[in-house]
Amino acid sequence: MLDYSCSKSLFDRLCRKIKGSQKTPCLCLGAISVFLFILVSLASGQLIKSLPNKGDFSLANVSKIFEEEKKDIFINQNQKIWSESPEFLLVEGTSLKASSPPSDFSPQVLGALVGGYEVEDTKKVVVEYIVEEGDTLWSLSSKFNISLNTILWANDLNKNSVLKLGQKLIILPVSGVIHHVKAGDTISDVAKTYKGKTEEIIAFNNLSSEGDVYVGDIVIIPNGVLPAPSTQQAPIWVPLADSYFICPVSSPCRITQGLHWYNAVDFSHGKCGDYIYAAAAGEVIKVYLTNSTSRWANGGAGNTISILHPNGVVTSYGHIAASLVTPGQQVYQGQIIALMGGQPGTPGAGLSTGCHVHFGVSGARNPFSR
């Protein structure tokens, strides 16, 4: 530490000399200025003395001094002030990413800064409900604040249907119908078929335009009506060879959730950043990415890739952290197409409780639903 006894003595003598003077305030300020000048001069002298070679102000020598005094300069981490600058972490052994000190921001805060956080986390996702004792079609209609017909249409039921304990029902977030997009479909055609409004369909499904739909998508038509006497049907399933699809994650092929909406199963080894593979060859038709931290982003699936296969079947990969492919790209079976995401609170995680991939199949039976 520096010895300031000499400068302190000088300061005291100056103050005693001007004590009682009418000009005391101004003179004291002057004395303080002189005192600070002396401190700076002494500090500079101390720095020069500390240099390995007197008068050597090279960057290497000065840096060495500050490194030695680092513990005296910064407060320790228990006091929540960090001396370190952001570090870099090795990701998957091939790339680097910045890692700021933990006192900076949380993923939730970062999401809010870029406009991804939704103050009113509006629910716009289809859910599955397990029938409980005492449930009726009418009580469920009231419970979920949707029309009775909405429940009937989504589950291929009629008013005389009797619910069974443990039965699984599809519940829409709003009164209306759902539509499975086929080749050639437009929002205008869908709106006309179900007596909906084009602008309402675009807004409710967060579409950028009328043409922002792809084969295999599921679109909700608010206040839509199912044309009589048809029933709301999913796409016709084509037969598949047992070897047509491979597991979209590395061995062992670990399923963490069985069949759920829509025709999907979840895979995970419990680690975000794991590779996700194309289950079969095909064309990437959709890459949906968002910085939203909403649980309901993209119907709860969050960041998603969709691949159209030669037989017309579409596979989707939800809750991804990053896409390694682009729309229109041809991929082969087993090609790495994405990195696993799903960590709650991170952009694009969607409705997820942890790192996994939501693997959905449209147009065929999900081969991993056994």
Residue range 168-182: mean pLDDT, rounded: 95
Integer CA distances (angstroms), 18 to 9, 30, 293, in order: 15, 11, 65
pLDDT of res. 299 = 86
d(CA 345, CA 351): 10
Q: Examine the domain organization and report whether 208 and 273 are in the same domain.
A: no
Does residue 35 form part of some domain?
Answer: yes
- What is the Cα–Cα distance from 361 to 311, expressed in whole angstroms? 12
Alpha helices by DSSP H, listed for the chain, are 5-18, 24-50, 59-68, 70-73, 107-113, 137-143, 148-154, 187-194, 198-204
Q: Which residues of 183-218 are buried (b: 16+ CB within 10 A; e: fewer)?
A: eebebeebbebbebeeebbbebbeeeebeebbbbbb
Does 159 share its domain with 200?
Answer: yes
Amino acid at 353: T
What pLDDT, on the 0 to 100 scale, is given for residue 232? 65
- For residue 241, being part of any structural domain is answered with no
pLDDT category, 208, cuts 50, 70, 90? confident
Task: Supply the range of the domain harboring residue 282.
Answer: 255-362
Tell me, yes or no, whether 69 and 153 share the same domain: no
Q: What is the CATH number of the domain that holds 303?
A: 2.70.70.10
354 and 306 in a single domain? The answer is yes
Residue 49 neighbours by CB under 8 Å, 6+ apart: none
Residues 235-259: pLDDT tens digits? 778 999 989 999 999 999 999 999 9
Q: Is residue 237 part of a domain?
A: no
- Whether the per-residue pLDDT at 90 is higher than 90: the answer is no
Q: Which helix (H) or strand (E) holds 220?
A: strand 218-222
Domain count, the chain: 4
Q: Are residues 32 and 81 in the same domain?
A: no
Q: Is 81 found in the same domain as 69?
A: no
In whole angstroms, give the CA distance from residue 143 to residue 326. 42
Q: Is residue 230 part of a domain?
A: no
In a domain, 177, yes or no: yes
Same-domain check for residues 28 and 81: no
The reply to whether 148 falls in a domain is yes
| For residue 107, pLDDT beyond 50 | no
Q: Is the separation of the CB atoms in 232 and 126 below 8 Å?
A: no
List the CATH number of the domain containing 187. 3.10.350.10
**DSSP at 299:** G
Asked if residue 121 is part of any domain, the answer here is: no
Asked if 261 and 347 sit in the same domain, the reply is yes
The answer to the question of residue 111 being in a domain is: no
- 358 and 259, same structural domain? yes
Name the band, by pLDDT with cuts 50, 70 and 90, for residue 31.
Answer: low
Same domain, 357 and 260: yes
